[in-house]
Amino acid sequence: MKLLLFGGTFDPPHLGHLHNLRAALAAVRPDAAVVMPAGTPPHKAAAGAPAALRFAMCACFADLDPRVTVSDWELRRPGPSYTVDTLAMLAERHPGAALYLAVGSDMLRTFTRWYRWQDILALAALVVQSRAPGDGDALQAAAHGLEAAGGRVLFTGEAPLACASSAIRAGLAAGDQSAWALLPPQAAAVITQNGLYGTGTAAQKGEMPL
């Protein structure tokens, strides 16, 4: 069995996330894939949206492919969310499964700063999606270093789709209509219904899409 893990803060999930997951699915062809919204990421500030709403927005991933499920395992755990703990849980629940971890190119270049990164390499192969044009040489260098440490690195080969949650949050707060176009319908609905990311103010100004 091949099992793909696709994690992130997803604050909010956007079309770039869907593109990256689709690329990882095509590269790995797993039997199953788990989307894991992070609880408290150790390397980022606290999420802007509550955990329950980020989980609700992640319904967009399950609609992408029947092999995909969304888990709230990290959201229910206290303390920081470490990838190595999530992979260890999946390995315990699926004995003998070949685990794959989807990461972006920015994460690959800083991978040796991750908590217990050597253990992550022992647990799972890395599946890398480029996030910026022209980063191929840097990615290959990072991959060679990790492979020398015993890791396995796969590249999706798909072109990057530039999209960032931070920019979307800023755009939504400013009433920028183009920010809404970068969101899957499920995420946009949750944001609208709950006035997330400053959209309550935008709604009062008539700037929120109907």
Indicate which CATH number applies to the domain containing 93: 3.40.50.620
Q: Is residue 179 part of a domain?
A: no
How many separate domains does the chain show? 1
Torsion, CA 142, CA 153, CA 125, CA 74, rounded to 10: 50
Kindly report the pTM of this predicted structure.
Answer: 0.91
Q: Is residue 205 part of a domain?
A: no
Q: Is residue 48 part of a domain?
A: yes
Identify which of 65, 52, 143, 150 has the alpha carbon closest to the alpha carbon of residue 103.
143
How many residues does the structure list for the chain? 210
Q: Is residue 124 part of a domain?
A: yes
What is the per-residue pLDDT for 78?
86
Distance of alpha carbon 34 from alpha carbon 65, whole angstroms: 11
Q: Is residue 109 part of a domain?
A: yes
- pLDDT tens for the 210 residues of the chain, in order: 999 999 999 999 999 999 999 999 999 999 999 999 998 766 555 678 999 999 999 999 999 999 999 999 999 998 888 999 999 999 999 999 999 999 998 899 999 999 999 999 999 999 999 887 777 788 899 999 999 999 999 999 999 898 999 999 999 999 999 999 999 999 999 999 999 999 975 444 334 443
Q: Is residue 25 part of a domain?
A: yes
Query: What residues make up the domain containing 129?
Result: 2-162
Q: Is residue 188 part of a domain?
A: no
